[in-house]
């Protein structure tokens, strides 16, 4: 079996796992915003630990963090595919990239809303 991943032959779960880790590395090496998102996630986790969030609150934050990082990874993938298929300017290629980037923005805004709902009552009690 051949693959276009960084490994020429991908067999077994361990090799596939290494390819997935390599893909995550591509996102963080190629996207400055992904590194900013991880720093923000670390700050949220630190604040959550400091104010002793409930299990439910942690679940909401984990989903929010995963949602943003997943959207960023998918956006990176869409950009790479579009660049491969259409190296020259094409309005439809630009639209695909804009839509993928918009999905990241939607995820980020939703995560901010989740953060306000989770941290608000702890930071600004009635």
Catalytic pick among 37, 57, 72, 88 = 72
Beta carbons within 8 Å of 76's beta carbon, 6+ residues apart: 26, 27, 30, 31, 34
Residue owning tokens 């720093």: 39
Confirm whether 37 is a catalytic residue. no
Q: How far apart are CA 113 and CA 116, in angstroms?
A: 5
Residues 9 and 3: beta-carbon distance below 8 Å:
yes
If one counts every other C-beta atom within 10 angstroms of the C-beta of residue 44, the result is 20
Residue owning tokens 């259409």: 86
Residues with catalytic function: 72
């Amino acid at each position: 079996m051949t693959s276009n991943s960084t490994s020429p032959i991908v067999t077994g779960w361990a090799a596939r796992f290494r390819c997935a880790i390599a893909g995550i590395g591509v996102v963080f090496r190629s996207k400055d915003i992904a590194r900013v998102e991880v720093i923000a996630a670390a700050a949220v986790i630190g604040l959550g630990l400091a104010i002793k969030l409930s299990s439910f609150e942690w679940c909401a934050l984990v989903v929010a963090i995963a949602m943003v990082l997943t959207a960023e990874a998918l956006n990176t993938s869409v950009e790479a595919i579009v660049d491969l298929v259409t190296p020259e300017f094409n309005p439809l290629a630009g639209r695909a990239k804009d839509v993928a980037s918009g999905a990241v923005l939607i995820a980020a805004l939703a995560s901010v809303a989740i953060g306000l709902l989770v941290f608000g009552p702890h930071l600004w009690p009635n």
